Amino acid sequence: MIGGQRMEIGVFLPVSGRAAGPEVLTQAAQTAERLGYDAVWSADRVVTPWRIDTPYPYASDNVFIVPPDRPFFDSMACLSFLAARTERVRLGISVLVLPYRHPLYWARLATTIDHLSRGRFVMGVGIGWMREEFAALGVRYEDRGRLTDEQLEAVQVLLREEHCTYQGEHYRFRDVSFLPKAFQEHLPIWVGGEGRPARRRAGRFGDAWFPYFVEITPGELRDAYQDVRAAANDAGRDADAVALTCCAAIEMTGADVAQDPRRLRGSVAQLREALDAYRRAGVAHLALQFMVPRWPERLAQMETFAEEVLPQLRSG
């Protein structure tokens, strides 16, 4: 259903930076759960090179936001840890870079977290962007799309079959057992990425398209989503079964500021209006990254948002 649905709101976890650690992660997830956020999201990084020349596509200045001298915790380990410290909030990753890992390995982690959380896990996936990290891991950057497509094919076998066999160009296994399957009837896989190949991938394999645009209007996002639906139809799937979801940076200001429909920035009243446009565009879930450098201020913004913005989104 487009335009009349309830839009879920998630929030990114502090898995990196000086504040990252078990106490802050627990506080973040439990606070999000208490305040009524629908999900908490971890980001993914294996290593951070000291020099990064690849433009970072998720910041307006194209500079990666976590310096190499700051901690960056493992995305899946954080969610496993939080599965025991939360009860209701969904636990998601935005997004796991599949080419960095073998599908047999990350699929086992995914189903384990799904069981430990009793069906609250959301598997966000992507192909990656940082050439230097690919080089450090010995993976060809140019192969990342094909590697990801094969992995998503292989994982469908692992999640559905008792005797699992897959033969691809890059991955192959024969007659292996894979248990546990997902705790949920169907493990949700949300496909990240912004370009046309990512949209086609989401339509072929995903339960949702889950991009992170630095600047986009809700209308532009909805238009791009039509490529996802077309790809789902081409693959013989139900296009309505692939949700429109997205991530977005958000900046809360104390007073009204000039509005740009391509960004979430403004006062509480302005953000209410801007976010309602996403709901009306058919976005089913919006994962918010509060752009505040220090954790105490970020926590305060999470609380203000939950008290003053969430109720209107839920009643709209």
How many Cβ atoms from other residues are within 10 Å of residue 315's Cβ? 7
In this prediction, residues 171-194 reach a mean pLDDT of 98
pLDDT computed for residue 60 by the predictor: 87
Residue 139 banded pLDDT, cuts 50, 70, 90: very high
Spell 95-126 as b/e; 16+ CB within 10 A means b: bbbbbbbebbebbebbbbbbbbbeebbbbbbb
Measure the CA–CA gap between 71 and 228, rounded to whole angstroms. Answer: 36
Cβ 37 vs Cβ 306: under 8 Å: yes
Cβ neighbours of residue 72 closer than 8 Å, sequence gap 6 or more: 15, 16, 20, 45, 48, 66
> pLDDT at residue 34 above 90?
yes
In this prediction, residues 151-160 reach a mean pLDDT of 98
Burial of 169 from C-beta contacts in 10 A (0-12 / 13-18 / 19+): exposed
Which CATH number does the domain 8-315 belong to among 3.20.20.30, 3.30.2130.10, 3.40.718.10, 3.40.50.300? Answer: 3.20.20.30
In this prediction, residues 218-245 reach a mean pLDDT of 98
> pLDDT at residue 155 above 60?
yes
Burial of 184 from C-beta contacts in 10 A (0-12 / 13-18 / 19+): middle
Measure the CA–CA gap between 226 and 283, rounded to whole angstroms. Answer: 13
> pLDDT at residue 3 above 50?
no
State residue 108 phi and psi, 5-degree precision.
-65, -40
Beta strands in 75-120 (DSSP E): 90-97
In this prediction, residues 272-281 reach a mean pLDDT of 96
Half-sphere exposure of 308 (CA within 13 A, CB side): 14
Measure the CA–CA gap between 169 and 282, rounded to whole angstroms. Answer: 37
Q: What share of the chain is helix, strand, coil (3-state, %, to 5)?
A: 40, 20, 40
Average pLDDT in the chain: 96
pLDDT computed for residue 314 by the predictor: 79
pLDDT computed for residue 176 by the predictor: 98
CA dihedral sign of residues 24, 20, 250, 129: negative
**Token pair in block for residue 171:** 């991955």
Return the closest-CA partner of residue 87 out of 134, 139, 128, 29: 29
In this prediction, residues 2-17 reach a mean pLDDT of 85
Residue 6 banded pLDDT, cuts 50, 70, 90: confident
Cβ 227 vs Cβ 200: under 8 Å: yes
> pLDDT at residue 4 above 60?
no
Return the closest-CA partner of residue 36 out of 76, 2, 16, 6: 6
Q: Where are the alpha helices (DSSP H) in 161-243?
A: 196-205, 218-234
Cβ neighbours of residue 225 closer than 8 Å, sequence gap 6 or more: 199, 209, 244, 282
pLDDT computed for residue 2 by the predictor: 39
Cβ neighbours of residue 115 closer than 8 Å, sequence gap 6 or more: 180, 183
In this prediction, residues 79-83 reach a mean pLDDT of 98
Measure the CA–CA gap between 140 and 128, rounded to whole angstroms. Answer: 11
